[in-house]
Amino acid sequence: MGEKSGLKRNHILECARQVFAEKGFRDVTMQDIVLACDISRGGLYLHFTRVDEIFAEVMKMDQESGDDGGALSLPEQSTPTDILALFMKEQKKEILRKKNSLSVAVYEYYFYLSSKQIKIPAKENILKQQFETGVLILENLIRDGLVTGEFYCEDPRGMASNIMYTLEGLKVTARTLGISEALVDKELVYIVQNIVFEE
Amino acid sequence: MGEKSGLKRNHILECARQVFAEKGFRDVTMQDIVLACDISRGGLYLHFTRVDEIFAEVMKMDQESGDDGGALSLPEQSTPTDILALFMKEQKKEILRKKNSLSVAVYEYYFYLSSKQIKIPAKENILKQQFETGVLILENLIRDGLVTGEFYCEDPRGMASNIMYTLEGLKVTARTLGISEALVDKELVYIVQNIVFEE
Amino acid sequence: MGEKSGLKRNHILECARQVFAEKGFRDVTMQDIVLACDISRGGLYLHFTRVDEIFAEVMKMDQESGDDGGALSLPEQSTPTDILALFMKEQKKEILRKKNSLSVAVYEYYFYLSSKQIKIPAKENILKQQFETGVLILENLIRDGLVTGEFYCEDPRGMASNIMYTLEGLKVTARTLGISEALVDKELVYIVQNIVFEE
Amino acid sequence: MGEKSGLKRNHILECARQVFAEKGFRDVTMQDIVLACDISRGGLYLHFTRVDEIFAEVMKMDQESGDDGGALSLPEQSTPTDILALFMKEQKKEILRKKNSLSVAVYEYYFYLSSKQIKIPAKENILKQQFETGVLILENLIRDGLVTGEFYCEDPRGMASNIMYTLEGLKVTARTLGISEALVDKELVYIVQNIVFEE
DNA sequence: CATGAATGAGAGTTCATTCAT
DNA sequence: GATGAATGAACTCTCATTCAT
């Protein structure tokens, strides 16, 4: 029973994810999700009662599945420079990604919370966690690079944080004003050059 | 007559601005604006027919009034370092501003346009203009600093652009995750240190 | 389930029919129908989305129920003269009918379609079908009368068609200018005399 | 002043006529007329207070200008047969007329009155007058034809009335179901053949 | 548990009509 | 007289949410 119920719940979340990827967060109604899931109205309400509740779960699901993916593609014996390049490649992909991206929905969701003055506890705040995880990864990476002598940096934590804000700026600009691949490349190269030791 | 009509229009825009500052963009209805303006339903429709139309005008109005304010506070004989400090101070104010800020509404508006796949011509795209104006100001400032020997930078344009993205990242983070004044200070200091020539 | 849904639908159509009979077509709003059905606003929209859609269904329903009634009253071994008299009696009833008549609504509906330049496929065009059925019935009747020697007519089809247009003229005049029973009688007698063989 | 006022009034009626010819009666709003007249809202209300009032005046105006036109085209020494042909030609033109025709508006107006249960005194009832005038013309024409031996008819008044109803039926059918020129011709020929003495 | 018909609050929009200028 | 901004009633339509089956 619990199993079965879990399956349905997952089905709902997966279908809902599609909807959010297509329409963002603010335009999605319970109806949209009901239709996308091919489920009954009442059925949906047995599991969730608000759209934002569903979206929070979708984000959580997304994060969990993302954890796996990230680690897998790392080759053995990579240098910090290699890893940084890979990190930036992933960031670029995310910044430019059009299909199946939840970015717009995520922003809309957080602005929605903000305008409703709803605070999420840090532990459940996925966007915050992702940001902080990013900072941590970069910081460790920079420290590694300093050890190998590949990187130059006086304040690894400050730089990591600075880079993450810049990437955030690129992401949000891509979703609001739009941005060309060339421009993203230019910015990412600029960031990397700032770290990598230049003779 | 034209005067009077303009006054009413302005009245509407000012009241609407309040509403947008309080509720963001997505939750604002024509009703909200009607109530805020103490005007009749039909009366509003004489001037505007859609919320997004009103918001676009509010942004325009805001930009125009902002132009004046910016120029006034410039002291005579400022060094590039001074000006940079002032620029950053303004940015900080904007990033942390809570009262009467349209930031959330602006982001919501642009995400709305994005999810509806509406394109605004560059000339009318205020967010884009603000961004590009920021880049230009910074670039010129950096070049000035290079001339006076106060700054160090190999690629003024690249750095200007990089800084603007970072500031954008700070702004959006402030509106989604929230950010402390201390953190903003830290980031701005980091940025400035990167430019100012350190012995 | 399907049963139940059908019942509700029928309930709506029957109540709506009342409304159309009273107010014609053009003045009827979704609200009117909602009130007449003692149903919720949204409830009506589950079944129909526009007044003209409802009216089209009401007409269809009316036609179907009318089919039964027409056939039943035919006595055995009627002569063409008898049948013609019966036909005319029915026409008279329809022309003069005040209670529960959809005539005005039907005309208003067709003028509405006309002014909106909406074309209905012939198969769904009930007014057209009724007219053509009328012509056919009359034509066959006249031919029968020619065989029995009761009628005189050189062009049965032409006469049938001519009679139907005249009846249409009477009907529309009754609904616009009004017409007395005596006048209708006079006209119907005139028509019949034109067919029936006079020594 | 009275002159001037009369001019304005006429201007309104002429512009309004255009609107009615295009949109029928039921869809025309005070706004439409204001726009078509290039007049102020208040200005229109100085002359008329309801759409149906304006339409009644438009019909009156139309009838008056029509009186002149009808008489002019009569050739000298026409036989009843000629005049009948001319009469039918005019009827055909009216039945099939698309441009600048008020027919739909007239019907809509009368159905509107009917559904609102508003009665017009016979003296002001233009449609009624036109019908009765038509009957009278036809009756006299038939009597003339009987005298010259061109026509055959036992009941001139009955036939005149019958023809008028048939023409009415054709007119309304043309506006609701649509009718081809060929069909109109066929019907008119049928009518004429019924009168004209055949050897 | 699951269903989906039904509810009703609320947003958008239009227009006849008024009235200060 | 003439103007047109302003009003507010009325209508359309959509959804979150409930509840009998």
Whether the CB of A92 is below 8 Å from some CB of chain B: the reply is: no
pLDDT band at B136 (very low <50, low <70, confident <90, very high): very high
- Do residues B169 and B135 share a domain? yes
User: Residue type at C66?
Assistant: G
**B66 inside domain:** no
Residues 6+ apart with CB under 8 A from A13: A54, A57, A58, A61
10-residue block means of pLDDT along chain D (199 residues)? 70 96 96 94 95 96 73 72 95 95 96 92 92 96 95 94 98 96 97 82
Residues of C in contact with D112 (CB under 8 A): 24, 26
Q: For the residues of D82-147, what is the DSSP string, one character each? A: HHHHHHHHHHHHHHH--TT--HHHHHHHHHHHHHTTPPPPGGG-HHHHHHHHHHHHHHHHHHHHHH
CB A83 within 8 A of CB A194: no
The residues with which D151 forms a beta bridge, in sequence order, are D196
> Is nucleic acid strand F under 7 Å from C7's C-beta?
no
Cα–Cα distance for residue pair C106/C127, rounded to 1 Å:
8
Q: What number of other Cβ atoms are within 10 A of residue A44's Cβ?
A: 19
Residues 6+ apart with CB under 8 A from B127: A176, A177, B106, B110
Q: Which two tokens stand for residue D47?
A: 């002359």
Give residue-wise pLDDT tens across range B159-188: 999 999 999 999 999 999 999 999 999 999
* A145 CB burial (10 A radius; 0-12, 13-18, 19+): buried
The residue-averaged pLDDT of C8-36 equals 96
Residue C10 is predicted with a pLDDT of 94
Residue C199 is predicted with a pLDDT of 46
Please, what is the Cα angle at C80 between C79 and C83, to 5 degrees? Answer: 90
- Whether the CA torsion C162, C167, C168, C172 is positive or negative: it is positive
The CATH number assigned to the domain holding C185 equals: 1.10.357.10
- Do residues A40 and A95 share a domain? no
- Do residues D83 and D26 share a domain? no
| Closest Cβ–Cβ partner in D107, D159, D177 for C128 | D177
Distance from CA of B168 to the nearest CA of A (A): 5
- Do residues B191 and B104 share a domain? yes
- Do residues B24 and B81 share a domain? no
Is residue D151 helix, strand or coil? strand
The CATH number assigned to the domain holding A121 equals: 1.10.357
CB B172 within 8 A of CB B125: no
From D124, which residue of chain C is nearest by alpha-carbon distance? Answer: C177
First-to-last CA distance in chain D?
A: 65
- Do residues B101 and B52 share a domain? no
Q: For the residues of C101-144, what is the DSSP string, one character each? A: --HHHHHHHHHHHHHTTPPPPGGG-HHHHHHHHHHHHHHHHHHH
- Do residues B82 and B119 share a domain? yes
Residue C14 is predicted with a pLDDT of 96
Residue A65 is predicted with a pLDDT of 79
Cα–Cα distance for residue pair A26/B108, rounded to 1 Å:
9
CA D149 to chain centre: 31
- Give the structural domain span for D11: 1-72
Whether the CB of A155 is below 8 Å from some CB of chain B: the reply is: yes
**C64 inside domain:** no
Residues 6+ apart with CB under 8 A from A10: A61
The residue-averaged pLDDT of A109-119 equals 93
Q: Is the pLDDT of residue C2 over 50?
A: no
Q: Is the pLDDT of residue A13 over 50?
A: yes
Note the strand F nucleotides within 7 A of protein beta carbons: 1-20
Give residue-wise pLDDT tens across range A72-93: 566 677 899 999 999 999 999 9
- Do residues B44 and B119 share a domain? no
Residue A199 is predicted with a pLDDT of 46
> Is nucleic acid strand F under 7 Å from C49's C-beta?
yes
Cα–Cα distance for residue pair A186/B162, rounded to 1 Å:
10
Q: Which two tokens stand for residue A4?
A: 């079965």
Residue B5 is predicted with a pLDDT of 61
| Bigger pLDDT: A32 vs A7 | A32
Whether D177 sits inside 8 A of C111 (CB atoms) is: no
Note the strand E nucleotides within 7 A of protein beta carbons: 1-20
Q: Is the pLDDT of residue A14 over 90?
A: yes
Residue B183 is predicted with a pLDDT of 97
Residue C1 is predicted with a pLDDT of 41
Q: Is the pLDDT of residue C123 over 70?
A: yes
Whether the CB of B127 is below 8 Å from some CB of chain A: the reply is: yes
**A130 inside domain:** yes
> Is nucleic acid strand F under 7 Å from B41's C-beta?
yes
Q: For the residues of C53-74, what is the DSSP string, one character each? A: HHHHHHHHHHHHHHHHHHHHTP
Could you tell me which of B183, B19, C21, B22 has the C-alpha nearest to residue A165? B183
Residue D199 is predicted with a pLDDT of 46
Mean pLDDT taken over chain B: 91
Chains A and C touch (3+ CB pairs under 8 A): no
Domain count, chain C: 2
Chains D and C touch (3+ CB pairs under 8 A): yes
Residues 6+ apart with CB under 8 A from D138: D87, D159, D160, D163, D164
Residue A2 is predicted with a pLDDT of 46
Cα–Cα distance for residue pair D110/D108, rounded to 1 Å:
5
CB C144 within 8 A of CB C81: no
Give residue-wise pLDDT tens across range B38-87: 999 999 999 999 999 999 999 999 988 876 555 556 667 789 999 999 99
List chains touching B (3+ CB pairs under 8 A): A
Residue B73 is predicted with a pLDDT of 62
**C68 inside domain:** no
**A1 inside domain:** yes
Residue C146 is predicted with a pLDDT of 95
pLDDT band at A147 (very low <50, low <70, confident <90, very high): very high
**CA-to-CA separations, C120 to A157, C56, C132, D169, in angstroms, rounded:** 72, 10, 16, 20
| Closest Cβ–Cβ partner in A24, A107, A173 for B176 | A107
Cα–Cα distance for residue pair A182/A96, rounded to 1 Å:
11
User: Residue type at C7?
Assistant: L
Residues of B in contact with A24 (CB under 8 A): 111, 114-115
The residue-averaged pLDDT of A174-188 equals 96
Residue D72 is predicted with a pLDDT of 52
Whether A170 sits inside 8 A of B165 (CB atoms) is: yes
| Closest Cβ–Cβ partner in A27, A107, A172 for B168 | A172
> Is nucleic acid strand F under 7 Å from C5's C-beta?
no
* D6 CB burial (10 A radius; 0-12, 13-18, 19+): exposed
Q: What number of other Cβ atoms are within 10 A of residue D178's Cβ?
A: 13
Q: How far is the CA of B40 from the C1' of E12 (A)?
A: 14
Residue B179 is predicted with a pLDDT of 95
- Do residues C174 and C97 share a domain? yes
pTM of the model: 0.90
Q: Is the pLDDT of residue B114 over 80?
A: yes
Give residue-wise pLDDT tens across range D14-39: 999 999 999 999 999 999 999 999 99
**B33 inside domain:** yes
Residues 52-81 of C with CB under 8 A from D: none
- Do residues D115 and D133 share a domain? yes
Q: Identify from D101, D113, D177, D193 which residue to disrupt to test chain C contact, counting C C-beta atoms within 10 A and taking the largest count.
A: D177
**C152 inside domain:** yes
Cα–Cα distance for residue pair D169/C169, rounded to 1 Å:
4
Residue D193 is predicted with a pLDDT of 93
- Do residues C35 and C124 share a domain? no
Whether A166 sits inside 8 A of B166 (CB atoms) is: yes
Give residue-wise pLDDT tens across range C39-91: 999 999 999 999 999 999 999 999 888 765 555 566 678 899 999 999 999 99
**B19 inside domain:** yes
List chains touching D (3+ CB pairs under 8 A): C
Residues 6+ apart with CB under 8 A from B175: A110, A111, A114, B103, B104, B107
Residue B6 is predicted with a pLDDT of 78
Residues 6+ apart with CB under 8 A from C153: C142, C145, C146, C159, C195
- Do residues A50 and A77 share a domain? no
pLDDT band at A196 (very low <50, low <70, confident <90, very high): confident
CB A191 within 8 A of CB B199: no
Cα–Cα distance for residue pair B34/B12, rounded to 1 Å:
8
The CATH number assigned to the domain holding B31 equals: 1.10.10.60
Residue A1 is predicted with a pLDDT of 43
Find tokens 């506006």 and name the residue.
D175
